[in-house]
A and B are shown apart, each in its own frame.
Chain A
Amino acid sequence: MAQDTRMLPLKKRSKLHRKNTLIAYSFLAPNFLGFLIITMLPILFTVGLSFLTWNGGVLENMKWAGLDNFAAIFKNFSFQKSDLGITLKNTVFYTLATVPLTILFSLAFALLLNKAVKAASVFRFIFFFPYVASIVAVCTCWNYLLMKYGVVNSFLNSIGFTMTKSWTQSKTLAMWALIIVAVWRYAGYYMVLYIAGLQNIPGELYEAATVDGASAWQKFRKITLPMLTPTTFFVSIMTTIACFKVFDTVILMTDSGPGRATKMLVNYIFDLSFNQIKYGVASAVAMILFAVVLIVTVLQFRVEKKWVNYF
Chain B
Amino acid sequence: MTTLAVKPQSAEKTIRKIILRALMIVFLLLFTVLALLPFLWMLSSSLKLDKDVFRYPIEWIPSVRHWENYVQIWQRVPLLTYFKNTALLSTGVTVMQVITSSFAAYAFAKLNFKGRDLLFLCYIGTIAIPWQMYMLPQFIMMRYIGLYDTLWALFVLQSFSAFGVFLMRQFFLGIPTELCEAARIDGLNEYGIWARIMLPLSKPAIATLLIFTFVSTWNDFMGPLIYLRSDAVKTIQVGLRRFIQEYTSDYHLIMAASLCSLVPVAVVFLFMQRYFIEGIATTGIKG
Point out residues on A near B: beta carbons under 8 Å.
20-21, 23-25, 27-28, 30-35, 37-43, 45-46, 49, 105, 108-109, 112-113, 115, 117, 121, 123-130, 132-138, 140-142, 144-145, 147, 149-151, 154, 184, 188-189, 192-193, 195-196, 216, 234, 238-239, 241-242, 244-245, 247-248, 251-252, 266, 269-270, 273-274, 279, 282-283, 286-287, 289-290, 293, 297
Contact = CB atoms under 8 A, between A and B. Distances in A.
Contacts of A283: 136-137
B179 interface: no
Contacts of B222: 247-248, 270
A274 B78 CA distance: 26
Interface stretch (B2-10, B64-72, B125-133): B125-133
B101 A31 contact: yes
A154 B57 CA distance: 8
Chain B interface mostly: helix
B138 A145 contact: no
Nearest to A125: B273
B240 A151 contact: no
Given A24-B112, A151-B41, A126 B269 contact: no
B205 to A, nearest CB: 15
Contacts of A144: 41, 45, 53-54, 251, 255
A297 B162 contact: no
A46 B219 contact: no
Contact of A141 (B41, B111, B132, B284): B41
Interface string B198-239: 000000000000000001001101100110000000001100
Contacts of A138: 38, 258
A134 B32 CA distance: 19
Contacts of A46: 133-134, 136-137
B244 A34 contact: no
B74 interface: no
Contacts of B123: 35
Given A28-B108, A192-B280, 16 more contacts: A27-B107, A27-B111, A32-B104, A42-B135, A42-B138, A108-B27, A137-B259, A138-B38, A144-B41, A144-B255, A147-B54, A184-B38, A245-B132, A252-B241, A270-B132, A282-B136
12 contacts: A23-B190, A38-B157, A42-B135, A45-B137, A109-B31, A134-B261, A144-B54, A144-B255, A192-B277, A245-B287, A273-B139, A286-B132
Interface of B: 20, 24, 27-28, 31-32, 34-39, 41-42, 45, 53-54, 56-58, 99-101, 103-104, 106-108, 111-114, 116, 119, 122-123, 126, 128-141, 156-157, 159-160, 162, 164-165, 190, 194, 215, 218-219, 221-222, 225-226, 236-237, 240-241, 244, 251, 254-255, 258-259, 261-262, 265-266, 269-270, 273-274, 277, 280-282, 284-287
Of B106, B159, B222, most A-chain CB atoms within 10 Å: B222
B41 A30 contact: no
B32 A286 contact: no
A95 to B, nearest CB: 12
Closest 4 CB pairs of A and B: A34-B160, A242-B287, A137-B258, A45-B137
Nearest to A59: B144
Contact of B24 (A112, A126, A142): A112
Contact of A245 (B101, B130, B240): B130
Contacts of B190: 23, 27
Contacts of B136: 42, 46, 49, 269, 273, 279, 282-283, 286
